[in-house]
Amino acid sequence: MGRDFYIKNMEQVVYKNRKLGLDLLRITSMVMIVALHFFGNSGMLKICDEKSIPNVCAWIFEAAFIVAVNIYVLISSYFLINSDFKIKKLVKLIIETLFYSVLIFIIFVIIGKEEINLKSLISNFFPIITKKYWFITVYLAMYSISPLLNIVIKNITQKNHKIMIVILYIICFILDESRGYSLYWFIVLYFVGAYIRLYKDDLIFNKIKCIEIYFLITIIVTISKFLIYNLYSTGIIKNDYSMVFYHYNSITILLSSIFVFLVFKNLNIKNNIIKKIITILAPSTFGVYLIHENSNIRNILYNDILHSNNYLNSNKYIAIAFLSIISIYIVCTIIDICRIRLFKLVSYLYNKIKYKYVLEK
């Protein structure tokens, strides 16, 4: 009885100290990212045909899910603004990235799908420097300079903070040709996430209205894609600007990202089963990304395993996409849970040996 009471109270402490709504958002965002990669790698987004129901649905989902990367950065900045910089966390992320990069490379060498040469060795053993995972490279850069960003943010007024966001956004939108795949954009998002934490954290936003605005923006972005593309394909405009509202740094996607973030920020999750599921899945979201987006995995996953490009003209495409996305997420999560347990075992054995050595000494 005493042990059960202790465990129950410890669980309540863990749940109270965590923002489970944001953990759930982290999980949801990773599912979205897997979906984005599926639609992109299947070849469906190379098509723009309003007469094709699967194609229209794919572009709707693309508009709805493209917020995922922005959301990840918003979540990070939301916590980092009031946190101390931890070199241990930085090292942990680097080790995890290196672990999957090297392990997958070795497996592919063994099965004859990868060759050992200078280029492959550098790419897989130095994945961050070589930008094997663009998000990881940029994210770690942002995390590394977060103490400097915090100094700036905490020494300006709320009014100046808002002005800074506007100025940084305008500069980034004009000068950042990477469409949001850069440190510049992550800094803008950092200022936005920090602003929400510092000045809007206690406000309870109307979740229904936030969701309505999110869906409205999604529809507007989708319509813009087909409308602008038709103007381009008919020769009315010379350049194809149909993706302009789909970019990470577009005002539409930024606003959409913020409204989704606000829905989950103060989400009150009461069901203990759901709480446990979230606490199990949330730590593996990073691993899901590292596994399924690994270049070696990506090269065989969508064509050789899922054969996703065979269903582009099929009405079954959306159903197949759904099953594929969920399957990818589940399999990658299971793999990363095993990785987490392995790391814990190694850490336990290391500490045990270290403690024994100290006692003997």
What's the pLDDT tens digit per position in 26-70?
Answer: 999 999 999 999 999 999 999 888 889 999 999 999 999 999 999
Residue 87 has pLDDT above 70, yes or no: yes
Q: What is the token pair recorded at 183?
A: 């440190």
d(CA 47, CA 309): 12
Mean of all residue pLDDT scores within the chain: 90
- Res. 350 pLDDT band, cuts 50 70 90: confident
**pLDDT digit string, tens, across residues 290-324:** 999 999 999 899 989 999 888 888 889 999 999 99
Are 21 and 268 in contact, with CB atoms under 8 Å apart? yes
Amino acid at 330: I
d(CA 296, CA 132): 11
Looking up tokens 């489970």 gives 20
Are 307 and 258 in contact, with CB atoms under 8 Å apart? no
Give the number of C-alpha atoms closer than 13 A to the C-alpha of residue 35, restricted to the C-beta side.
26
DSSP 305-355: IS-GGGGTTSTTHHHHHHHHHHHHHHHHHHHHHHHHHHHHHHHHHHHHHHH
d(CA 25, CA 206): 17
d(CA 139, CA 32): 18
The beta strand positions in 212-325, using DSSP E, are none
d(CA 37, CA 299): 12
Triad 57, 62, 64: Cα angle to 5°: 95
Amino acid at 355: Y
Are 224 and 38 in contact, with CB atoms under 8 Å apart? no
Model's pTM, two decimal places?
0.90
Are 130 and 105 in contact, with CB atoms under 8 Å apart? no
d(CA 176, CA 161): 21
